[in-house]
Amino acid sequence: MRPSSAGEGQALPGQPARPAASGALAAAGAYWRAVSAVLWKDLAAEFRSRELLSAMLVFSLLVVLIFNFALQLDRVARENVAAGVLWVTAVFSGTLGLNRSLSQEKDRGSLDGLLLAPVDRSALYFGKMLGNWLFMLVVQAIILPVFSVLYNLPMLLPLNLVVVLLGTLGYAGVGTLLASMAVHSRSRDVMLPILLLPVAVPVLVAAVQASGGLLEQRAWDEISQWFSLLIGYDVIFIAVAFMAFDYVLEE
């Protein structure tokens, strides 16, 4: 169902103009405008409905509280498992967000609209990915202080914030690709965690180790390799998703 002419598609709010002048700079500018248009669309839709963020937030809080009961946390145990709880919370609520962000597009038929837009397909990926990343970060920005208070731990250390940035970036990077595939399958809401969680294990391992090391105030030498792993994972998976996304949308 390839569109015969690209101009016929529904005009999206804030749809970028086509690159008027050739040249690398103009092309890069047009590309960025396309990415930010997709991102802006997601943010505007979320700002009006507040469906996704509120669901992710309440869910995250519930997970934090349930862990407290499920693991029978006393003070020592709390300190030992805090990094794990933090990341399981981030990963689960992130899955919720990723699922919604693409199933909404499909249910309302706006995915076709996006595909009709005369922009590079990878711009759609980056727009979606940045949106998902931003939602995860907003949730973390609220959860981290709450977590610090409830668990009495310095979660807001600057380096831990870097870990959160890198970890959620990798998760959103590969998650957006897999969510765009899962949305087409019959049991789609169930599909995404099954596809995503085993693939995202390295980012989870590295993030938990890095956060845990920081909370235990270990030496930088011990923690730095986990940072390298996080950065490596982010770069590799965003590159792979960037290259593969074209094939996902090919109709």
Partner 1 sequence: MFKSDRVAQILNLVTAGLLLVATAMVFFYAPTEVTMGAVQRVFYFHVAAAWVGLAAFMVTFVAGLVYLRTGKHLWDQIGHASVEIGLVFTVMGAASGSIWARPAWNTWWTWDPRLTTYTIMALIYVAYLMLRQGLDDPDRRARFAAIYGIVGFISVPITFFSIRIWRTIHPVVVGGSGDAAQGTFHMTSPMLQTMLFSVFTFSVVYVCLLVNRVRLEDLAERVEQLKVRMLSA
247 binds partner 1 (CB under 8 A): yes
Report if residue 78 touches partner 1, rule: CB under 8 A.
no
Least Cβ distance, residue 120 to partner 1 (angstroms): 18
Residue number with CB closer to partner 1 (152 or 225): 225
**Rounded Cα gap, residues 24 and 126, in angstroms:** 19
Q: Distance between CA 92 and CA 103 in Å, rounded?
A: 17
Q: Give the residue, chosen from 119, 206, 215, 238, that forms a contact with partner 1 under the rule CB under 8 A.
A: 206
The answer to whether 8 and 112 are in contact (CB under 8 A) is no
225 binds partner 1 (CB under 8 A): yes
Answer yes or no: are the C-beta atoms of 176 and 128 closer than 8 Å: yes
Closest contact distance (angstroms) between CB of 206 and partner 1 is 6
CA distance from start to end of the chain: 6
The span of 9-17, 52-60, 67-75, 239-247 binding partner 1 (CB under 8 A) equals: 239-247
Per-residue binding string, partner 1, 166-205, x by CB under 8 A, is --------x--xx--xx-xxxxx--x--xx--xxxxx--x
Q: Which two tokens stand for residue 232?
A: 């490596």
Tell me if 236 contacts partner 1 by CB under 8 A. yes
Total residues in contact with partner 1, by rule CB under 8 A: 33
**Helix runs in the chain, H state only:** 24-49, 51-70, 75-107, 110-116, 121-151, 158-182, 188-199, 201-215, 220-249
The span from the CA of 137 to the CA of 151, in Å, is: 20
Q: Minimum distance between the CB of residue 109 and partner 1, rounded to whole angstroms?
A: 18
Nearer to partner 1, 60 or 95 (CB): 95
Q: Is 137 in the site for partner 1 (CB under 8 A)?
A: no
